[in-house]
Structures are given as C-alpha cells and as structure tokens.
Amino acid sequence: MAVPLSQMWTVATYVLKQRLRGLKRYPLVLMLEPLFRCNLTCAGCGKIQYPAQILKKHLTLEQCLKAVDECGAPVVSIPGGEPLMYPSIGELVDALVQRRKYVYLCTNAILLKEKLEQGVFSPSKYLSFSIHMDGLREEHDEAVCRDGVYDKAVEGIKAALTRGFRVTTNTTLFDGANPLRMREFFDEMMKLGVEGMMLSPGYSYSKAPDQEHFLRRSKTHELFSRMLSNPREHWKFNQSPLFLQFLMGQRDYECTPWGNPTFNMFGWQRPCYLLQEGYAESFRDLMENTRWEQYGRKSGNEKCQDCMVHCGYEATAVDDTFSNWKGFKDTVVATLTGKL
C-alpha cells in the first residue's frame, strides 16, 4: 500500500462529504503552478514555451494561498516549471502543511539536494517530493534531453530519503516505451526506497506536433498491460489501482477535468491541466462557467479522444471507488493484494 492511511482517510472523507452535499463537481487535486521557469528544456514540454517576460514571472505567495483556499481540494500538486526555482517554495510548502493539505512537490530534482542541505523543507506526512523519472538512466536522460539528469535525480532521492522525507516518482510514458525496461525501472525505484510510483501516458492530441510519440488508446492499453501484468510484489503505486486498470484497458472511464483544476499566473485554466482554452478569474467562475459538456471522450472533442492522462482520469477512478460498492471492493482488493 503506497498511499499512507491518513491520506487515504482524508481523501475518502472529503469525497464522501462532497457526495453527501450532492455536489456533482468537486476538485480533488489542485494543480498549482507558481512559475513556468525550469532548469531543463525537455523537448515538447508545453509548460516552458513562453517568451522571456513570462518565464521570469511567478505567482506571489499570497496568490498561491488564495487559490488553495478558494479551491479547497485536500491535495495540492505543485508542478511547474521547476517549483524548486520558486523563491517562496519553502514558505508555500510550510503554509500548505499548516493547512493540512497533502502536497506533492513535482520536481526534476536537480536542485533537491541543495535545497535540502539549505534546510528549506522539513519532513512531514503531508509533504511528498514527486520526482520526475521517465525511466532508467538512458531513457530518462533522453526524455529530458540532457545527459546526467538521472544520476542527479537519484542523488536527490537518496538525500531526501536519508532525511526522512516522503518520496514518490512520477513517470510519463510515450510511444516506444519498452515494457521490460520499465519493469526494471520499477524494480530500481523500489530498491532506492521510494514510497510509491505514479504513472501516466503522455497527452495524446491529434493536432500535437509530436503525434508519432504520443500513445493512442489501444497502444496505451497494450503498453500498460504488458508493463503491469503480473506486477512484482514489491512494486508500490501511489495512485488509484482502478486508474491503472483503466490504463490497462480493463475499465472504461470518462474524464473528470474539474477533478484537477489548474491555477497559474494566467488564472484558473479552462478546462484542464492540458488544454488551455482560456482562463477564469475565480475558481467559482471556472466551475460554473466552463462548458464541461464540450470535453471528454463522449463530447466528440478531438482533443480528448486519445487522452488517458492521470489529471483527467484519476479523479474518475477515485470517484468510482466511493460511489459504489463494487468500485470500493475492487480498490480494496487491488490495494491489499497488489494485483491489477
């Protein structure tokens, strides 16, 4: 079991409360992007392709906390850009921990060891470093377009684990990923001692420039089935087992774009973490005035047809766990047995 019980309990009670209130749409994980600046330039990364004046800017601490309070989600994920380059990252994490938010700080870990040595963070059950790792050394360095990053990230992971921090990994998979190498990668990460791993296919959008490297639905099913069938006992995943079953083609879900609302210097992003169709000024405006019916597979929107990413579908899987006994039972069985 990779997600600690206290975190599961917090999420479970939050979801049940929203359902009891009869809320049809509620956020689960706030994607808070304090800046777009990064110390890597991974090819095709949509987060860093901005003119210089935008890359130099960042949200103020107050703007970040206002968004957190407005949204109310129990989990806050801090992607970027590279959040360790955000000048107020220590204060932001402290304030979130004080609010008892479960924080996933998503980092490429290049600066992690240095920040830990400077004492910017303190270990807490609420804080987890989510390290960007797209495979073993060769695959990872290729994915991030720079040699030596894998070793640096491993160094960061070790430094964080030694100091008692929670550490998870997040991995995005593209076409051409080798299931056997990925299985070796899972072994390697567990050997390092990470708490759990998170997986997601890359976003597949029919008009994306790098189409041939994005996974189509059937290919996603094939890759994830080959990678995750007969999972080794020691593998731990820090995400819903129902979501992993969805990636393996064992379940059919619709996207829940409001489950992971995104806030950055432009405002509340419509409709999801991936698509930028406009920005709302307030969280309420986002929830009430986004034309949700235009998104997700059923809508026929071509941008959504092959998308199976975690920020669209993990919230669906979590909702499935708490909306019917079968979903709950399947989650419990998969969590306890480790079988997918």
The verdict on 272 binding ligand SF4 (CB under 6 A) reads yes
Stretch that binds another protein, among 21-29, 48-56, 101-109, 121-129 (CB under 8 A): 48-56
DSSP state of 291: -
How far apart are the C-alpha atoms of 75 and 125, rounded to whole Å? 12
Nearest approach, Cβ of residue 339 and ligand SF4 (Å):
27
Nearest approach, Cβ of residue 254 and ligand SF4 (Å):
8
Which of 92, 116, 295, 327 touches ligand SF4 by CB under 6 A?
295
DSSP state of 152: H
Which of another protein, ligand SF4, none has residue 56 at its interface (CB below 5 to 8 Å by kind)? another protein
Which of 53, 62, 300, 336 touches another protein by CB under 8 A?
53
User: Is the CB of 64 or the CB of 334 nearer to ligand SF4?
Assistant: 64
Which of 43, 184, 326, 339 touches another protein by CB under 8 A?
43
Which of 10, 12, 39, 57 touches another protein by CB under 8 A?
57
Output the DSSP codes for 230-282: S--TT--BSS-HHHHHHHTTS------GGGS-EEETTEEEEE-SS-EEEEESS
The verdict on 51 binding another protein (CB under 8 A) reads yes
The verdict on 49 binding another protein (CB under 8 A) reads yes
Whether the CB-CB separation of 213 and 186 falls below 8 Å is answered with no
Sign of CA dihedral 282, 287, 290, 295: positive
Cis omega (within 30 of 0) for bond into 22: no
Residue-level length of the chain: 340
Window 114-133: residues binding ligand SF4 (CB under 6 A): 132
Which of ligand SF4, another protein, none has residue 40 at its interface (CB below 5 to 8 Å by kind)? ligand SF4
User: Is the CB of 71 or the CB of 311 nearer to ligand SF4?
Assistant: 311
The verdict on 65 binding ligand SF4 (CB under 6 A) reads no
Which of 8, 12, 40, 54 touches another protein by CB under 8 A?
54
Which of another protein, ligand SF4, none has residue 173 at its interface (CB below 5 to 8 Å by kind)? none
The verdict on 89 binding ligand SF4 (CB under 6 A) reads no
The verdict on 60 binding another protein (CB under 8 A) reads no
Task: Retrieve residue 192's tokens.
Answer: 């390092």
The verdict on 267 binding another protein (CB under 8 A) reads yes
Q: How many helices (H) and strands (E) does the chain have?
A: 13, 9
As a three-state string, the secondary structure of 32-77 is ECCECCCCCCCCCCCCCCCCHHHHHCECCHHHHHHHHHHHCCCEEE
Cis omega (within 30 of 0) for bond into 271: yes
> Is 175 strand, coil or helix?
coil
Nearest approach, Cβ of residue 9 and ligand SF4 (Å):
27
The verdict on 296 binding ligand SF4 (CB under 6 A) reads yes
Pairing of strands 196-201, 166-173: parallel
Whether the CB-CB separation of 44 and 89 falls below 8 Å is answered with no
Name every residue whose Cβ is closer than 8 Å to that of residue 228 and which is 6 or more positions away in sequence: 244, 247, 248, 340
Which of another protein, ligand SF4, none has residue 57 at its interface (CB below 5 to 8 Å by kind)? another protein
Instruction: Please name every residue paired with 172 in a beta bridge, in sequence order, or none if there are none.
Output: 200
Which of ligand SF4, another protein, none has residue 213 at its interface (CB below 5 to 8 Å by kind)? another protein
**List of residues contacting ligand SF4 (CB under 6 A):** 38, 40-42, 45, 47-48, 80-82, 108, 132, 144, 255, 257, 271-272, 274-275, 295-296, 303-304, 307, 309, 311-312
Binding residues vs another protein (CB under 8 A): 41, 43-44, 46, 49-51, 53-54, 56-57, 142, 145, 174, 209-210, 212-213, 266-267, 278-279
